[in-house]
Chains A and B, each alone.
Chain A
Amino acid sequence: MYVIYIAASADTVWKALLDGEFTRQYWERDNVSDWAPGSSWEHRRIDGGRDPAILGEVLEASPPHRLVITWAEPSDRMRRDRHSRVTFDIEPVADMVRLTITHDDLEPGSDMERKISQGWPRVLSSLKSLLETGRPLKTWAGR
């Protein structure tokens, strides 16, 4: 589980997770989908390249509080048993929101598990910086 408190509204955080204009800045990726349950979504590299970095399906979307998606390598597109699941929960707490990311159904000891456990803290720290100061961090520097 990954939890961060951000001084922003739930609507802003929701938009920041889904809108490529935002994700490009703090994630250095474009998130692309219509975000309707049952739709597919793609996580695209911004330096071009046709293939998405990650893809999956939207399982649940309840703006601005809860988003559940599946998460897979493009090579596992058809292998549903290899898709993990990411849940974003956005709860208002005083004048902030608490953003919780739960990434489960991961294969223990897998490359994906290692990558996401290094990735989510960087992405969340950069998202907080962007929303609170207007400046994202160099999210993937030194990786």
Chain B
Amino acid sequence: MDDADEVFKALADGSRRMLLDRLNAHDGQTLTELCAHLHMSRQAVTHHLTALEAANLVVTTWRGREKLHFLNPVPLQEIYDRWIRKFERSRLRAMRALKRRLEEPRSA
């Protein structure tokens, strides 16, 4: 499967997006910390974290006996570069053309 497929698949789930939000608010959490205040079983959170890790959106590192989870925003940047930037370009062109047309009468 393509890398981008993994990222879109991982993002196509509200619980997984919420886990990314929680890491964005506080990076480097253990599984126990991530499970706190969540209406989700530990198994469900583990399952979602596995999908996020497969998509490289979450990376882990060991600190002593604790496994810490970190948000990796790089794949989101790649999606932005590949799928959003180029559409922004055409939007900006359209806005420039509109600006030119609106300003023409004044300069004429």
Contacts and interface: CB of A to CB of B under 8 A. Distances in A.
Interface of A: 1-5, 100, 117, 120-122, 124-126, 128-129, 137, 141-142
A137 B72 contact: no
Contacts of A126: 81
A100 B81 contact: no
Given A100-B59, A142-B88, A1 B72 contact: yes
Interface of B: 3, 56, 59, 61, 70, 72-74, 76-78, 80-81, 85, 88
A6 to B, nearest CB: 11
B85 A141 contact: yes
Contact of B85 (A2, A3, A142): A142
Contacts of A121: 73-74, 76-77
B85 A124 contact: no
Contacts of A125: 74, 77-78, 80-81
Contact of B73 (A5, A100, A117, A137): A117
Contacts of A137: 81
A124 B77 contact: yes
B77 A3 contact: no
A3 B81 contact: no
Q: Of residues B56, B61, B78, B81, which shows the largest number of chain A Cβ atoms within 10 Å of its Cβ?
A: B81
Contacts of A128: 78
12 contacts: A2-B72, A5-B56, A117-B73, A121-B73, A121-B76, A121-B77, A122-B77, A125-B74, A125-B78, A125-B81, A128-B78, A141-B85
Contacts of B73: 2, 117, 121
B78 A1 contact: no
B27 to A, nearest CB: 8
A97 to B, nearest CB: 13
Contacts of A117: 73
B74 A3 contact: yes
Q: Of residues A1, A3, A117, which shows the largest number of chain B Cβ atoms within 10 Å of its Cβ?
A: A1
B61 A1 contact: yes
A52 B3 CA distance: 36
A137 B73 CA distance: 17
